[in-house]
Structures are given as C-alpha cells and as structure tokens.
Amino acid sequence: MNHTPRVAAVQDLSGLGRCSLSVVLPVLSVMGAQCCPLPTAVLSAHTAFPAPERSAFQDLTDTMEQTLEHWEALDLTFDAIYSGFLGSARQIGVLRRLIRQFRRRETLVLVDPVMGDRGKVYRTYTPELCAQMAELSAEAGLITPNLTEAALLLGEDYRNVPTSQAGMEQWLSRLSLDGKRSVVITGVSFAPKTIGAGCFDHSRGRIHFAMARQEAASFYGTGDLFAAVLLGGLLRGETLAEATALAVDFVQKCVARALAAGSPVLDGVPFEPLLRELL
Ligand code: PXL
C-alpha cells in the first residue's frame, strides 16, 4: 500500500451552501488523501445567504493557535498545507507559523486566496485581510485565484480581466512571481459558451488551458470544489495540467447536474452523486 497523503486544511466550516470544509473533506477523502481540518470559523451558512444580521460567525483564531501548539508537540508531517476562506487577519499569522513549522522540501503549500467573486469582495473580507492574503500567497508553491482574486492580487481593476489567451498568459506569468510559484486561474473564458482554467506549472515552466462547456449559471462553492479536486489530483501524482483538466471537467459536470435539478445557486452544486467519479 502506498502512503496516504496528509493535508492540513485551513478553511471555514459553513452549515449551508456546500463550500470550504464541507466540500474539501469529502473530495480529499474520496481521492485517497487524509484531510486534517484546522477550521478558521464556524458559520451558519456561507456569507452570501440572506439575513446576515441573524447569521452565526464564530471566529476560531484562538482555537487555531491552540491546535498549532498541540500539533507542534506531536511528531507530524503534512504532504500539503491548503488554505481557503479565512475569518480574520490574525489568522494569517497562524497560517504562516503552520507553514514555517511543517513545510519540508516536498510539502505542497496551496493557498486559495479566497477574497471575492464576480468583481466583488466577500462581505467579511476587510482591506487589511485582503492585503495580508496577498502576503500569504507569496509563501505558497501554488495559488488558485478566480478572476476577481487574480485582479486583486495584481492590483488591477476587475474591468481589465484579459479576454484573450495571450493576455491571460501574461496574468499567469505575473502571478507566478517570475516563475517561482505555480498558478491556476479559474473562470477563464475566451469565447462564448466555454469556460475553464489556465495554469502555469513552475516545475516545467509551461502554461496550459483546460476548457469546458459553459453552463447557464454559476453556483457558490465551485472555487472550493475546484481547488479540492486539483489538490487531490496532484497528491495522486498527476501533473498540474492533468489535475487542472480533471477539476475543470468535474466542476462542469456538477454545475450541469445542479441546473438539471433546478438547485438554488446559493446551495452550491450537488457533487455528492458524482464523487465516485473521482475515485
Ligand atoms: O466559496 C468561498 C466561500 C467560503 N467560505 C465562506 C464563504 C465563501 C463565499 O461566499 O462565504 C464562508
């Protein structure tokens, strides 16, 4: 038996809306990795649900620090450290300590710089948190921004998102910090009815695009689903281009299923019946 890859997953746990840990745990498990959650916050539902004045948002920064204290006392190694939605700027410090403590030469540090979507920053993300997210991303071996997050990281206006492949290659290369880290940009589209992702693989110095049919709506949590499938593929030994193509295809199938079932956009995609395809 090969060793089971172990992932420290630093993300929130949201009761409703199929995002973050609710997606990452099942996906990594089915793809054969052990997911060790380090929850950043517990929420009643993701932040786009209505009635935010009645929502629960329990910040877990103190618990994260205590967890790190415990993990540091144990003889532990992680094959990947994977961060997503963060609850406060202070959590970046905890994450940096986690990375410093547990990063070895072969550890994959994946920072999904979750900050916003469709040109808008999420409700709970302060400018300070966004600035620190950019700093955290500088420590990653791989980042997976959507177009909104790519623009924020580059200090570009969302209206400047490239619509040509050559333009997107430039954004990939700028985000790679001179080829030092790998980058996957999601939500890329160059032609009507197609959408996908572009990736720069720093170990090969190459750019690839993986496209799929664009469905007629977009759903919450698909960025988290994408990054989890991508990471699962990489931990199984796939190249960045292969894992990107797998994640693009899987998300497209889940979105098609959500549309066929008439699922509400806020509920995220019904990936559960399709999980077996990732086995
Ligand atoms: O899917 C990104 C995400 C993760 N976690 C929480 C969110 C969102 C996006 O809205 O609100 C809590």
Span 230-274, pLDDT tens digits: 999 999 999 999 999 999 999 999 999 999 999 999 999 999 999
Alpha carbon nearest to ligand 1 atom 7, residue: 46
pLDDT at 1: 57
pLDDT at 213 over 80: yes
Alpha carbon nearest to ligand 1 atom 1, residue: 221
Give domain status of residue 1, yes or no. Answer: no
Question: Has this prediction a pTM greater than 0.85?
Answer: yes
Closest atom of ligand 1 to CA, residue 45: 12
47 in contact with ligand 1, CB cutoff 6 A: yes
Give domain status of residue 279, yes or no. Answer: no
114 in contact with ligand 1, CB cutoff 6 A: yes
Query: How many domains does the chain divide into?
Result: 1
Distance from the CA of 177 to the center of ligand 1, in angstroms? 26
pLDDT at 176: 97
**Radius of gyration of the chain, Cα coordinates, nearest whole angstrom:** 17
Q: 114, exposed or middle or buried, with CB in 10 Å at 0-12, 13-18, 19+?
A: buried
Distance from the CA of 196 to the center of ligand 1, in angstroms? 20
Give domain status of residue 124, yes or no. Answer: yes
108 in contact with ligand 1, CB cutoff 6 A: no
Q: 268, exposed or middle or buried, with CB in 10 Å at 0-12, 13-18, 19+?
A: buried
How much of the chain, in percent, has pLDDT values that exceed 70? 100
Distance from the CA of 259 to the center of ligand 1, in angstroms? 20
Give domain status of residue 166, yes or no. Answer: yes
Question: To test ligand 1's pocket by mutation, which of 19, 21, 59 has the most ligand atoms within 8 angstroms of CB?
Answer: 19
Span 56-74, pLDDT tens digits: 999 999 999 999 999 999 9
Question: To test ligand 1's pocket by mutation, which of 46, 82, 271 has the most ligand atoms within 8 angstroms of CB?
Answer: 46
Closest atom of ligand 1 to CA, residue 122: 10
Q: Which domain holds residue 25?
A: 6-274
Give domain status of residue 231, yes or no. Answer: yes
Distance from the CA of 116 to the center of ligand 1, in angstroms? 8
Give domain status of residue 260, yes or no. Answer: yes
If one counts every other C-beta atom within 10 angstroms of the C-beta of residue 176, the result is 18
CATH of the domain at 105: 3.40.1190.20
102 in contact with ligand 1, CB cutoff 6 A: no
pLDDT at 194 over 90: yes
Distance from the CA of 205 to the center of ligand 1, in angstroms? 31
Residue that is written with structure tokens 């935010």 in the block: 52
If one counts every other C-beta atom within 10 angstroms of the C-beta of residue 87, the result is 21
pLDDT at 201 over 60: yes
Give domain status of residue 87, yes or no. Answer: yes
CA distances for 279 relative to 19, 135, 182, 264, angstroms: 20, 35, 25, 27
Give domain status of residue 45, yes or no. Answer: yes
Span 11-32, pLDDT tens digits: 999 999 999 999 999 999 999 9
